[in-house]
Structure 1
Amino acid sequence: MRAIGIILAGGNNSRMRELSDKRAIAAMPVAGSYRSIDFALSNMANSHIQKVAVLTQYNARSLNEHLSSSKWWDFGRKQGGMFVFTPTITKDNSLWYQGTADAIYQNIDFLKQSHEPYVVIASGDCIYRMDYNKVLEYHIAKRADITVVCTTCEDQTEVERFGVVRMNDDGRIVEFEEKPIVSSYNTISTGIYVVRRRQLIELLERAALEGRHDFVNDILIRYKNLKRIYGYRTDAYWSNISTVEAYYRTNMDFLRPDIRNYFFRQEPSIKTKIDDLPPAKYNPEAVVKNSLVSSGSIINGTVENSVLFKEVYVGNNCVIRNSVILNNVYIGDNTRIENCIVESRDTIRANSCYCGEDGIKIVVEKNERYAL
Structure 2
Amino acid sequence: MKRKLLGVIDATTYHDDLEDLLTHRSLAALPFAGRYRLIDFVLSNMVNSGIRSVAIFPKMQYRSLMDHLGSGKNWDLNRKRDGLFFFPSPIVDNDDNRIGSFDHFAANIDFFYRSTQEYSIIANSYTVFNTNFRSLLEWHIQSGCDITEIHHKDGHSMEMYLVKTSLLIKLIETRDVTGYSCMKDVVNDLHSLYTICHYDYSGYTMMIDSIQNYFSTSMNLLQSNVWKQLFLKEQPIYTKVKDEPPTKYVKGSSVQNAMIANGCIINGTVENSIVSRGVKIGKGTVIKNCIIMQKCQIEDNCYLDSVILDKDVKVEAGTHLTGSARSPFVIRKGTKQGALMNS
- Report the TM-score when normalising by structure 1: 0.84
Deviations 1:244-270 (A, max 9, x none): 111111211211112223333421211
Correspondence 1:234 to 2:201: yes
Q: Which residue of 2 aligns with 1:35?
A: 37
Following TM superposition, by how much is the alpha carbon of 1:96 offset from its aligned partner in structure 2, in angstroms?
Answer: 6.2
SS in 2 for 1:194: strand
Q: Match for 1:206: what amino acid? A: T
d(CA) in 2 for partners of 1:313 and 1:233? Answer: 43
| Runs of 5+ unmatched residues, structure 1 | 89-93, 154-186
Checking the alignment, whether the CA contact within 8 Å between 1:337 and 1:355 is kept in structure 2 is yes
Structure 2 unaligned runs (5+)? 338-343
Letter in 2 for 1:307: I
Partner-residue secondary structure (3-state), 1:266:
coil
For residues 191 and 295 of structure 2, the distance between their equivalents in structure 1, rounded to whole angstroms, comes to 47
Q: How far did 1:105 drift?
A: 2.4
Q: State the match for 1:130 in structure 2.
A: 131
When structure 1 is superposed on structure 2, of 260-269 and 303-312 the one drifting more is: 260-269
Change (3 A) 1:212 1:264: closer
Q: Which amino acid aligns with 1:275?
A: K
Q: Is the 8 A contact 1:340 1:356 kept in 2?
A: yes
- Displacement of 1:361: 1.5
| Aligned residue in 1 for 2:88 | 86
8 Å CA contact 2:59–2:92 kept in 1: the answer is: no
Q: Name the aligned partner's letter for residue 349 of structure 1.
A: E
Contact 2:124 2:160 in 1 (8 A): yes
Match of 2:159 among 182, 188, 191: 191
How far apart, in 1, do the equivalents of 2:170 and 2:289 lie?
Answer: 49
Structure-2 change in CA distance of 1:281 and 1:270 (3 Å): same
Structure 2 counterparts to residues 271-290 of structure 1, below 5 A? 271-290=238-257
Separation in structure 2 between the aligned mates of residue 123 and residue 43 of structure 1, nearest angstrom:
12
Counterparts of 1:112 and 1:256, CA distance in 2: 45
Instruction: Select between 144-153 and 261-270 the one with higher mean Cα deviation.
Output: 261-270
User: Is the contact made by 1:50 and 1:76 (CA closer than 8 Å) also made in structure 2?
Assistant: no
Change (3 A) 1:103 1:244: same
Contact kept? 1:335, 1:352, Cα under 8 Å:
yes
Q: CA deviation at 1:95?
A: 5.8
Q: Which residue of 2 aligns with 1:294?
A: 261
Please report how far the alpha carbon of residue 274 of structure 1 lies from its aligned counterpart in structure 2 after TM superposition.
0.5
Q: Distance in 1 between matches of 2:130 and 2:336?
A: 38
Within 5 A, what are the aligned runs for 1:122-161? 122-153=123-154
Q: Tell me the secondary structure at the aligned position of residue 336 of structure 2.
A: coil
Distance 1:77 1:208, change over 3 A: farther
Instruction: Kindly indicate whether residue 327 of structure 2 is the aligned counterpart of residue 359 of structure 1.
Output: yes
Aligned equivalents of 1:226 and 1:4: distance in 2? 24
- Partner of 2:321, secondary structure, is strand
Taking structure 2 as the reference length, what is the TM-score of the superposition? 0.91
Give CA deviations for 1:283-334 in whole Å, capped at 9, x if unaligned.
1121000000001111110100000111111001001101111111000111
What's 1:175 paired with? none
Q: CA deviation at 1:87?
A: 2.6
| Whole-Å separation in 1 of the counterparts to 2:245 and 2:176 | 50
Query: What CA distance in whole angstroms lies between the structure 2 residues aligned with 1:279 and 1:264?
Result: 21
What is residue 182 of structure 2 aligned with on the other side? 214
AA aligned to 2:149 is V
C-alpha distance in 2 between matches for 1:64 and 1:96: 21
C-alpha change, 1:74 and 1:110, in structure 2 (3 Å) is: same
Matches within 5 A, 1:242-321: 242-321=209-288
Q: 1-side partners of 2:125 and 2:87: how far apart?
A: 14
Confirm or deny that 1:204 pairs with 2:183: no
Which position in structure 1 is the counterpart of 2:302?
Answer: 335
Inter-partner Cα distance in structure 2 for 1:345 and 1:360: 18
Q: What is the Cα deviation at residue 55 of structure 1?
A: 0.7
Instruction: Quickly say closer, same or farther: Cα 1:276–1:359, change in 2 above 3 A.
Output: same
Instruction: Please state whether the residue corresponding to 1:148 is helix, strand or coil.
Output: strand
Q: 1:7 to 1:204 in 2, by over 3 A?
A: same
Root-mean-square deviation (CA), in Å? Answer: 1.9
Is the 2:130–2:231 contact (alpha carbons within 8 Å) kept by the matching residues of 1? no
- Equivalence for 2:53: 51
The letter of the residue matching 1:273 is: K
Aligned length: 329
| Paired amino acid for 1:310 | R
Contact between 1:340 and 1:361, CA under 8 Å: does it hold in 2?
yes
Cα distance between partner residues in 2 of 1:130 and 1:224: 31
Label 1:110 to 1:96 Cα distance change in 2 as closer, same or farther (>3 A): farther
Whole-Å Cα distance in 2 between the matches of residues 132 and 42 of structure 1? 11
| Sequence identity (%) | 33
Q: CA deviation at 1:50?
A: 0.6
Does the CA-based 8 Å contact 2:29-2:64 persist in structure 1?
yes
Q: Post-superposition shift, 1:219?
A: 2.1
Alignment partners' CA distance in 1, 2:107 and 2:132: 28
Residue matched to 1:163: none
C-alpha contact (below 8 Å) 1:10/1:60 kept by paired residues: no
